């Protein structure tokens, strides 16, 4: 990665490292109740505490509330000389709480009609009739838990007013979104908000919006006339910084005896929390397979838990777990090979629109040798450890889109700077953009530098979310490089009295087709002395009438200790189709990172609540169990690397999210293969595994399974 | 105390962590604050040659001791072999955990120049990374081990 040395040396400046002269530190008072009313709040004692400069409450900042709807909801904030002083002063805020009865059960919320939005219904064909006509029907209820993003850099902002301009240094996935949201909220002109994010320590979807910490820092900075930093602690990060919401999925599949799927139905309850949106948990059921009769309804349950935020393929991670487990249960019922079942129900075209490109069948073909390993794998089983393999398919977005802009500046020294006001979420954005510019301009990679991260120093750029960074920004950078190249060739043609069409740039030299001219770029551009060549580029539209999607399949191998319930993931083969791959090393790192995050989701991660009070019990990284290096299996990554001919001048789709989509189902299906137990709930803790094994035993004996 | 070979002094509040003093008083922000309670390893440094989480050491306790932070790993502005290996292997994504990891790996390789996979898992399981999936960190340790 181009900027890896800076990061490895500890020189990269993150928001956490921003220290401005005279900067104050803010701390937030958060609700100790899952649901309460603030009857009275008095900050006078806090204001007299040592080092304290200002305090704000629900009346001062809209992001603070006097009716907290979840444990950890922000209520008030203090700015002091040091963060310790601010935290100490929080204790002196006098609050009279009126605790209210929290609602924590999402099904109950649906029954009561306490919803975040209208239920979302998607229907095609005649589901009921197809189900009645089906040879076999399989039903299942699947549950997924709340998991937390826990980026290593917590959510934070530093705000400073310079006259009527607000400078925001913030850890964000969307510089321009912060700019427009804050401008709107504070009633200032967008041009009077400058947003800076040079380096950020991870986001995974949780850092798309400003957040209370930004608004609080802005208001406290306004009141004190000093820069204010508001950084969440790890504890706060685990309470109120967003999450992947829990889901309950009640699924039905009807099929003919030959394995043709004829009906798919699902009722999805998304436990959205106190606020948030309904992620498309029904998406995989609607789009992954060819099926004429599909009926889904998705409810957003408004309950007294922290609001969900986008988390790496929101909805599709959860929905793929349910659907792909259901499909393997169907395969088992029909005694059909799970890979064959998926091929048989392949969607060659979407119901509405053609795909811009789809190579899922090729992914399946490449999965075969990995899938074949299961026969040998199973023979390793003994009375305690059972071995097996499972697979699951992946569908997700990742095409990106306009608008996005980039500039290229070519100096008389022949060096190139790519300028765009995008952010790097930490995925190697600078490297990918430099590679694209270097390739287009025909110069070595080390001649190109990428400047990003500042809304005042570059054109509009898209969000780093939805696997869109490369497909949205890459084409703009390529177009900007092409614009600069055209100008360079024009100069060279004039200088050497040649036609432009015979000239090209290769390995840093302007060359003619007949080989007679080979002039270093700096000699041509050097003719301009202090003048510079400026290239401009914009992201073009996506192909009209087409669906731009990513596809893949993963094969997981597991070992299960049937005595203790321990599950070990031994090997994962990940085969994905994301169009053209720009940086193979960075791409495989994305795949590995997605798989490990998915293994955490599948086996160990879970935000736990006290079921009576709604208090969050997992407030630290000790209690909330992220995967460590000890949990890493063998990962084999294969990318189809075939440019999408319909998609932009680059043919690349995004890769941030696809790898996390199928892993939970692949592991659950491998567990079924190894033990015969059906997994219906995440995470697959030892207790859950033992419960599933017991249920499988009961089922074998013909007794009704304990649920 | 000595930090990265240079004698340094700082006025600290008695309850202050060494991590805070390094980052906010001594101009050494390379060690990262990601949990403040010894769970993530992002602030790993060497104190008299022993790997510690700087957030779990009081600044006052460091008085008279010899510290090495991520800023002091490489010599004369060049990358330390472990840092080089991280760059080469692609073991860096967002990079927030990287400073702690490279210090921890440098410590591991000094104790055990040819660590087995299990030894790597054991030594680095206290350094959390949310981006890379750790696979390339294994690669980086193996590369660095061949060069040490």
Domain boundaries along the sequence of chain B: 2-72, 81-147
Helix, strand or coil for residue B66?
A: strand
Contact indicator for B20, B59 with CB cutoff of 8 Å: yes
Query: Would residue A334 count as lying in a domain?
Result: yes
Are residues A434 and A465 both part of a single domain?
yes
**Using one digit for the tens of pLDDT, what is the confidence trace for A454-494?**
999 999 999 999 999 999 999 999 999 999 999 999 999 99
CATH fold match for the domains B2-72 and B81-147: no
- Number of domains comprising chain A: 4
Count Cβ neighbours within 10 Å for each residue of A451-486 and write b for 16 or more, e otherwise.
Answer: bbbbbeebbbbbbbbbbbbbbbbbbbbbbbbbbbbe
Kindly state whether A205 is in contact with chain B, defined as any CB-CB distance less than 8 angstroms: no
Chain B segment 14-33 residues within 8 A of A by beta carbon are 15-16, 23-24, 28-33
Residue numbers in chain A where pLDDT is lower than 70: 351, 703-707
Question: Which residue, A202, A231, A260, sits at the end of a domain?
Answer: A231
Nearest to A626 among B30, B37, B128 (CB): B128
Are residues A459 and A578 both part of a single domain?
no
Chain B segment 37-96 residues within 8 A of A by beta carbon are 37, 39-40, 42, 69-71, 73-74, 79, 83, 86-87, 90-96
Q: Which of B47, B44, B56, B70 is nearest to B17 (CA)?
A: B56
Are residues A87 and A219 both part of a single domain?
yes
Are residues A419 and A478 both part of a single domain?
yes
Which DSSP state fits A438? H
Are residues A82 and A128 both part of a single domain?
no
- pLDDT computed for residue A351 by the predictor: 64
Query: Would residue A131 count as lying in a domain?
Result: yes
Which tokens is A658 given?
């696809």
Pairing relation of β-strands B66-68 and B2-3?
parallel
CATH superfamily membership of B81-147: [2Fe-2S]-binding domain (1.10.150.120)
Contact indicator for A408, A433 with CB cutoff of 8 Å: no
Which DSSP state fits A43? -
- Measured from the Cβ of residue A10, the count of other Cβ atoms closer than 10 Å reads 24
Contact indicator for A557, A363 with CB cutoff of 8 Å: no
Query: Would residue A658 count as lying in a domain?
Result: yes
CB contact under 8 A, A620 and B37: yes
B95 vs A contacts (CB less than 8 Å): 3-4, 6-8, 12, 199, 201, 426
**Using one digit for the tens of pLDDT, what is the confidence trace for B52-74?**
999 999 999 999 999 999 999 99
Q: Which of A547, A132, A112 is nearest to A356 (CA)?
A: A547
Kindly state whether B114 is in contact with chain A, defined as any CB-CB distance less than 8 angstroms: no
For residue B35, give the chain A residue with the closest CA: A234
Could you tell me the CATH number of the domain that includes residue A479? 3.30.365.10
Residues A598, A553: Cα–Cα separation, whole Å: 14
- Longest Cα–Cα distance in chain A: 90
Over A387-419, what HEC string results? EEEEEEEEEECCCCCCCCEEEEEECCCCCEEEE
**Cα torsion angle, A76, A79, A80, A84, sign:** positive
Kindly state whether A15 is in contact with chain B, defined as any CB-CB distance less than 8 angstroms: no
Lowest model confidence (mean pLDDT) among A352-356, A507-511, B30-34, B100-104: A352-356
The interaxial angle of helices A584-599 and B135-147, nearest 10 deg, is 120
| End-to-end CA gap in chain B | 28
Predicted TM-score (pTM) of the model is 0.97
Dihedral of CA atoms B14, B17, B22, B26 in degrees, nearest 10, equals: -20
- pLDDT computed for residue A704 by the predictor: 58
CB contact under 8 A, A151 and B23: no
Which tokens is A57 given?
């409450």
Which tokens is A192 given?
């009077």
Contact indicator for A69, A8 with CB cutoff of 8 Å: no
Dihedral of CA atoms A418, A422, A423, A427 in degrees, nearest 10, equals: -70
- Measured from the Cβ of residue A541, the count of other Cβ atoms closer than 10 Å reads 9
A428 vs A457, A473, A584, B80, CA distance in Å? 20, 13, 11, 21
The reply to whether ipTM tops 0.95 is yes
Are residues A415 and A495 both part of a single domain?
yes
B102 vs A contacts (CB less than 8 Å): 8
- pLDDT computed for residue A703 by the predictor: 61
> Which residues, 6 or more positions from B58, have their beta carbon under 8 angstroms from its beta carbon?
B14, B15, B16, B17, B18
CB contact under 8 A, A152 and B42: yes
Q: Using alpha carbons only, what angle is made at residue A38 by residues A36 and A41, rounded to the nearest 5 degrees? A: 150
CB contact under 8 A, B90 and A9: no
Q: Give residue B111's pLDDT band: very low, low, confident or very high (50, 70, 90).
A: very high
Query: Would residue A154 count as lying in a domain?
Result: no
Question: Which residue, A538, A555, A583, sits at the end of a domain?
Answer: A538
Are residues A261 and A336 both part of a single domain?
yes
**Helical (H) or strand (E) element with B108:** helix B98-111
Which DSSP state fits A74? E
**Using one digit for the tens of pLDDT, what is the confidence trace for B73-86?**
998 889 999 999 99
Residues B93, A586: Cα–Cα separation, whole Å: 8
Are residues A504 and A560 both part of a single domain?
no
Are residues A138 and A166 both part of a single domain?
no
Q: Which domain holds residue A136?
A: 103-147+243-347
Fold of B2-72: Ubiquitin-like (UB roll) (3.10.20)
Count Cβ neighbours within 10 Å for each residue of A77-105 and write b for 16 or more, e otherwise.
Answer: bbbbbbbbbbbbbbebbebebeeeebbbe
* Residue to substitute from B28, B37, B130, B140, interface A, most A β-carbons within 10 A: B130
A11 vs B contacts (CB less than 8 Å): 30
For residue A151, give the chain B residue with the closest CA: B130
Q: Using the predicted structure, report yes or no on whether residue B143 has a pLDDT greater than 70.
A: yes
- pLDDT computed for residue A350 by the predictor: 72
Question: Which residue, A209, A231, A253, sits at the end of a domain?
Answer: A231
Strand partners, A643: none
Are residues A523 and A444 both part of a single domain?
yes
**Helical (H) or strand (E) element with A182:** helix A175-186
How many CA atoms are closer than 13 Å to the CA of B3, on its beta-carbon side? 22
Residues A11, B27: Cα–Cα separation, whole Å: 11
Are residues A415 and A559 both part of a single domain?
no
- pLDDT computed for residue A353 by the predictor: 86
Are residues A126 and A254 both part of a single domain?
yes
């Amino acid at each position: 990665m181009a900027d890896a040395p800076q990061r490895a040396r500890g020189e990269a400046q993150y928001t956490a490292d921003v220290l401005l002269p005279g900067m104050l530190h803010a701390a937030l008072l958060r609700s100790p109740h899952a649901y309460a009313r603030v009857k009275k709040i008095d900050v006078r004692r806090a204001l007299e505490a040592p080092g304290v400069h200002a305090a704000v409450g629900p009346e001062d900042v809209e992001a603070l509330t006097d009716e907290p709807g979840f444990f950890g909801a922000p209520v008030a904030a203090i700015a002091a000389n040091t963060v310790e002083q601010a935290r100490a002063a929080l204790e002196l805020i006098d609050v009279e709480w009126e605790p209210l009865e929290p609602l924590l059960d999402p099904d109950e919320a649906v029954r009561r009609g306490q919803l975040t939005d209208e239920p979302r219904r998607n229907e095609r064909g005649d589901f009921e009739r197809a189900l009645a006509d089906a040879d076999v029907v399989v039903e299942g209820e699947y549950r997924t838990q709340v998991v937390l993003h826990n980026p290593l850099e917590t959510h934070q902002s530093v705000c400073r007013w310079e006259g009527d301009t607000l400078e925001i240094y913030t850890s964000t996935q969307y510089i321009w979104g912060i700019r427009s949201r804050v401008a709107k909220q504070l009633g200032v002109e967008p041009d009077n908000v400058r947003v800076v994010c040079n380096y950020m320590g991870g986001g995974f979807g949780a850092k798309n919006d400003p957040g209370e910490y930004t608004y609080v820092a802005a208001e406290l900075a306004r009141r004190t006339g000093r820069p204010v930093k508001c950084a969440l602690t790890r504890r706060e990060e685990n309470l109120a910084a967003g999450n992947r919401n829990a889901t309950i999925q009640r699924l039905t599949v009807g099929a003919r005896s030959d394995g043709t799927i004829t009906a798919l139905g699902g009722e999805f309850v998304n436990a959205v929390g106190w606020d948030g949106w309904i992620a498309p948990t029904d998406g995989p059921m609607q789009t992954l397979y060819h099926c004429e009769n599909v009926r889904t309804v998705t409810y957003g349950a408004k309950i007294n838990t922290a609001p969900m935020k986008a988390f790496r393929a929101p909805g599709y991670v959860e929905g793929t777990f349910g659907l792909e487990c259901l499909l393997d249960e169907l395969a088992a019922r029909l005694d059909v090979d799970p890979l064959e079942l998926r091929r048989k129900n392949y969607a060659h075209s979407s119901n509405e629109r053609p795909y811009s490109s789809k190579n899922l069948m090729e992914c399946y073909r490449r999965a075969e040798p990995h899938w074949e390993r299961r026969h040998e794998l199973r023979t390793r089983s003994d009375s305690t450890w059972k071995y097996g393999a499972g697979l699951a398919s992946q569908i997700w977005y990742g095409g990106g889109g306009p608008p996005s802009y980039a500039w290229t500046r070519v100096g008389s020294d022949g060096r190139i700077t790519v300028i765009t006001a995008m952010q790097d979420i930490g995925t190697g954005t600078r490297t990918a953009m430099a590679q694209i510019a270097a390739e287009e301009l025909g110069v070595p990679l080390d001649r190109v530098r990428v400047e990003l991260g500042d809304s005042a120093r570059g054109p509009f750029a898209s969000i780093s979310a939805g696997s869109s960074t490369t497909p949205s920004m890459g084409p703009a950078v390529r177009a900007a490089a092409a614009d600069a190249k055209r100008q360079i060739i024009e100069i060279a043609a004039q200088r050497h009295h040649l036609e432009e069409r015979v000239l090209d740039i290769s390995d840093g030299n302007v060359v003619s087709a007949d080989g007679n001219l080979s002039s270093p770029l700096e000699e041509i551009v050097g003719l301009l002395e202090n003048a510079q060549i400026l290239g401009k580029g914009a992201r073009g539209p996506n192909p009209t009438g087409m669906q731009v999607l990513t596809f893949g399949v993963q094969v997981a191998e597991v070992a299960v200790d049937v005595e203790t319930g321990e599950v070990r993931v031994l090997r994962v083969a990940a085969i994905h189709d994301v169009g053209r791959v720009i940086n193979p090393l960075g791409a495989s790192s994305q795949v590995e990172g997605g798989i490990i995050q998915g293994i955490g989701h599948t086996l160990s991660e879970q935000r736990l609540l006290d079921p009576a009070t709604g208090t969050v019990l997992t407030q630290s990284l000790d209690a909330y169990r992220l995967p460590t290096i000890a949990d890493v299996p063998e990962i084999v990554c294969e990318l189809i690397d075939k440019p999408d001919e319909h998609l932009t001048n680059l043919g690349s789709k995004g890769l941030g999210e696809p790898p996390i989509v199928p892993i939970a189902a692949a592991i659950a299906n491998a567990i079924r293969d190894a033990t015969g137990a059906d997994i219906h709930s995440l995470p697959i803790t030892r207790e859950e595994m033992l419960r599933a094994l017991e249920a499988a035993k009961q089922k074998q004996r013909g007794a009704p399974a304990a649920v | 105390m000595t930090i990265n070979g240079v004698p340094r002094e700082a006025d600290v509040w008695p309850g202050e962590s060494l991590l805070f003093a390094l980052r906010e008083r001594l101009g050494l922000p390379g060690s990262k604050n990601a949990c403040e309670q010894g769970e993530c390893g992002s602030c790993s440094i060497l104190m008299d040659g022993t790997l510690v989480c700087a957030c779990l050491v009081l600044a006052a306790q460091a008085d008279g001791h010899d510290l090495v932070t991520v800023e002091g790993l490489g010599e004369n502005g060049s990358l330390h072999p472990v840092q080089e290996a991280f760059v080469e292997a692609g073991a860096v994504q967002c990079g927030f955990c990287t400073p702690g990891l490279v210090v921890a790996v440098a410590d591991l390789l000094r104790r055990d120049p040819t660590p087995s996979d299990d030894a790597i898992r054991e030594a680095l399981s206290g350094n959390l990374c949310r981006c890379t999936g750790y696979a390339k960190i294994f690669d980086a340790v193996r590369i660095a081990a061949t060069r040490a």
